[in-house]
A and B are shown apart, each in its own frame.
Chain A
Amino acid sequence: MKQYLLAVQFDETTPESEGEREEQMARTGRVTEEMQAAGSWVFHGGLRPSHATTVVRPGNGTTTMTDGPFAETKEQLGGFWVIRCDDLDQALSWADKCALACGCPIEVRPFDDGSED
């Protein structure tokens, strides 16, 4: 079994009504329940928008702190699922459901399982 991160690329510049947001949450919630029933779910979470982000950087043996995300881009990490499945095809079929449920692009990334490069 391999683990995959399904990361939601959320466009923070598109305004969303309260109703739309609730519908989206309901849809993604159903996908999560389906993952749990199938035994593929490991973990998931939705994130606060990037205005709440702080970056801590190392340098010269100490750290500095800055307000905001790494890069001021339109699309930010909005949430994620961690799933466990046999291969990329299974991960991609979950990603299909996630993308349709949240209406955002999903980045599918395998976890480093310690095998060599």
Chain B
Amino acid sequence: MDLDGVYRAEYGRCVATLTRLLGDIGLAEEAVQDAFAVALQKWGDEPPPNPGGWIVTTARNRAIDRLRRESTREARHAQALLLHQPDEPVEVGPVRDDQLRMIFTCCHPALSPLAQTALTLRLLGGLEVAEIARAYLVPEATVSQRIVRAKKKIRDAGIPYRVPDDADLPDRLGSVLTVVYLVFNEGYTSTSGPLLRTDLCLTAVRLARALAELMPDEPEVIGLLALLLLIEARRPARVGPSGELVVLTEQDRSLWNRELITEGHDLVRRCLRRAQPGPYQLQAAINAVHTDGPATDWTQVLALYDQLLHHTPTPIVALNRAVAVAEVHGPALALATIEELDLPGYHLLPATRADLLNRLGRTADAIAAYDEAITLATNDTERTFLEARRARLTTNR
């Protein structure tokens, strides 16, 4: 592995450990950057056998040197912390705990959602500020400002660097899972630009894997990992030869990643055995049905959507459920279930309505609904897809 590879794989872990040792994320990042600069000079072509451990030790020594030269209150505080830490070797256990602490700090609900995502991608995903800016199509300065401000709030407001206690855990875990899920969604259907941002999908899957390893007894954590794996498995079939969007029912199933599907199905079965269903587990189960056998069993999908809607009665779930209603009970009933939905600005509501109207032979209404969806869609690939659907209707007339 070259230095870039080590950086991407180890940066987050090293910063998490140094944050525990120094009590401050900013100081930890500086120390880790210093250590990578030393590595650049010393390693040559061959990194040491345990590059992460080398970086942590070097960063710690550099931090001690740096703190001795400074006399600020933070420096003295950090120095005192460092000197009182046992000189423990870098083991798997404490490292994992450090990363777990870090993700709860990054996703603290006292931080804005954008700051939570940016911090998580930077400190756990190891993404550079420029990469985050590209992914979210915002200027680099905006991202770095958000990150700087969030780190200041963590320090000044006293956001703790620890895993929340049992009473707070369900709520706080929710915001961690939301961030990972949103990172994946942005990768799978980008707000604009190309449809897919594979790096974001892979980062989200990696974070979900890390969470599942850290919290194997939390069913929703396992549910989220299963969900992401089962969606990720279909990614190769989601875009056609000329970059066009291919919907689930029209995808070439031979392109799906069997390995990920098997892993996802195993995880869903694990969740079912626990019998503590939650929204991520139910969505994972729905995707397990989609990826099971040669065609989707819509009756089973609808039953799962009924459960999901009961659990999470949001308009988005109701809209997705309508697609299953159409397959099981026909488009007329499906249309009736979404008539009252209020999802301002969400292009998939008129897009779904257009499809149902078309199946009912109400072509003029379908065209009007497609027009509405096309105006609202922000991603070019999705818009092109909707335009193609609309064009079929006008030529058939």
Contact = CB atoms under 8 A, between A and B. Distances in A.
Interface of A: 2, 86-89, 91-93, 108, 110, 114-117
Contacts of B344: none
B73 A110 contact: no
Given A88-B110, A116-B73, A116-B74, A110 B160 contact: no
Contacts of B249: none
A110 B156 contact: yes
B110 A87 contact: no
Given A115-B73, A115-B74, A86 B110 contact: no
Which of B110, B158, B160 is most buried by chain A, counting CB atoms within 10 A of its CB?
A: B158
Nearest to A91: B158
Interface string B157-178: 1111000100010000000000
A91 B157 CA distance: 10
Contacts of A114: 73
B72 interface: yes
Contacts of A87: 158-160
Contacts of A110: 156-158
Given A114-B73, A115-B73, A116-B72, A89 B164 contact: yes
User: Chain B CB within 10 Å — which of A89, A91, A92 has the most?
Assistant: A89
23 contacts: A2-B158, A86-B158, A87-B158, A87-B159, A87-B160, A88-B108, A88-B110, A88-B157, A88-B158, A88-B159, A88-B160, A89-B159, A89-B160, A89-B164, A89-B168, A93-B168, A110-B158, A114-B73, A115-B74, A115-B156, A116-B73, A116-B74, A117-B152
Interface residues of B, number: 13
Interface string B80-121: 000000000000000000000000000010100000000000
Given A88-B108, A110-B156, 16 more contacts: A2-B158, A86-B158, A86-B160, A87-B158, A87-B159, A87-B160, A88-B158, A88-B159, A88-B160, A89-B164, A93-B168, A108-B157, A114-B73, A115-B156, A116-B72, A117-B152
Nearest to B155: A115
B183 to A, nearest CB: 24
B259 to A, nearest CB: 40
Nearest to A115: B73
A86 B161 CA distance: 12
A87 B72 CA distance: 21
A114 B72 CA distance: 11
Given A115-B74, A116-B74, A92 B160 contact: no
Contacts of A91: 158
A113 to B, nearest CB: 9
Contacts of B108: 88
Contacts of A92: 110
Nearest to B73: A115
A17 to B, nearest CB: 34
A108 B160 CA distance: 15
